[in-house]
Amino acid sequence: MKYKNQKSAELIAILNECAATCRFCSVASLNEETVKSMVSSIKSNLDCSEMCNLLASYLSRNSAHASHLLKECIEICEACATECEKHPHMDHCRECAETCRKCAEACKNAL
């Protein structure tokens, strides 16, 4: 697939990875015995996954509006990471937090 430039392709890959990791984390959280304590994390995972998918979609078609979404994506990825970091004893949350921080950093670099 051809993108505006290599940096866009790399960012799309990171966004897709983050979206998938957040979806995995939300499902894994639903399977935890303490699922009630995971509600905020699950909601953050879903928000982050959808935002990353949306931004990747805009970037993939070289939309002029993609740049508007970068700041929102940074904010949502950082919020998701912070929420997942509240559960460091859960591998899926730890991995999700790391991936969200990586994605936020990639979005900052794209600004």
Q: How far apart are CA 3 and CA 31, in angstroms?
A: 38
What pLDDT does 1 receive? 41
Instruction: Indicate whether 34 pLDDT > 50.
Output: yes
Q: Pinpoint the alpha helices (H) of 1-111.
A: 6-30, 39-60, 66-84, 91-110
Question: What total of structural domains would you count in the chain?
Answer: 1
- Taking a C-beta distance cutoff of 8 angstroms, is the pair 15, 52 a contact? yes
Q: How far apart are CA 44 and CA 26, in angstroms?
A: 9
Inside any domain, residue 31: yes
What pLDDT does 6 receive? 78
What pLDDT does 111 receive? 85
Q: What does pLDDT average to over the chain?
A: 94
Q: What is the C-alpha radius of gyration for the chain, rounded to an integer number of angstroms?
A: 14
Inside any domain, residue 1: no
Q: What is the CATH number of the domain that holds 44?
A: 1.20.1270.360
> With a threshold of 0.75, does the pTM exceed it?
yes
